[in-house]
Amino acid sequence: MSDFIYLASQSPRRSQLLTQIGVAHELLLPDPAEDAEALEVVRGREAPGRYVARVTGLKLDAAVARLQRLGLPAAPVLCADTTVALGREILGKPADEADARRILQQLSGQTHRVLTAVAIQSGRKRVQAVSESWVQFAPMTASQIKAYVASGEPMGKAGAYGVQGRAASHIEQIRGSYSGIMGLPLFETAALLRSVGVAC
Residue-wise pLDDT for 111-137, tens only, equals: 999 999 999 999 999 999 999 999 999
Query: 170: domain CATH number?
Result: 3.90.950.10
User: In the beta sheet, which residues pair with residue 83?
Assistant: 115
- Cβ-based neighbours of 41, under 8 Å, separated by 6 or more: none
- Residues 182, 4, 127, 80, CA torsion sign: positive
Q: How far apart are CA 93 and CA 170, in angstroms?
A: 19
Q: Is 3 a catalytic residue?
A: no
User: Cα dihedral angle (98, 100, 105, 110), rounded to 10 degrees?
Assistant: 170
> What's the whole-number mean pLDDT along residues 28-42?
80
Q: Is residue 67 part of a domain?
A: yes
- pLDDT band at 1, cuts 50/70/90? low
Domain around 31: 5-195
Q: Is residue 80 part of a domain?
A: yes
Burial of 46 (0-12, 13-18, 19+ CB in 10 A): middle
Q: How far apart are CA 120 and CA 161, in angstroms?
A: 26
Closest to 39 in 3D by CA, of 141, 150, 128, 117: 117
Q: Is residue 124 part of a domain?
A: yes
Q: How far apart are CA 7 and CA 116, in angstroms?
A: 15
pLDDT of residue 30: 87
User: Cα dihedral angle (186, 100, 109, 82), rounded to 10 degrees?
Assistant: -20
pTM over 0.85? The answer is yes
pLDDT of residue 45: 85
How many domains does the chain divide into?
A: 1
Q: Is residue 200 part of a domain?
A: no
Q: Is residue 180 part of a domain?
A: yes
> What's the whole-number mean pLDDT along residues 58-79?
96
Q: Which listed residue (3, 81, 96, 99) is catalytic?
A: 81
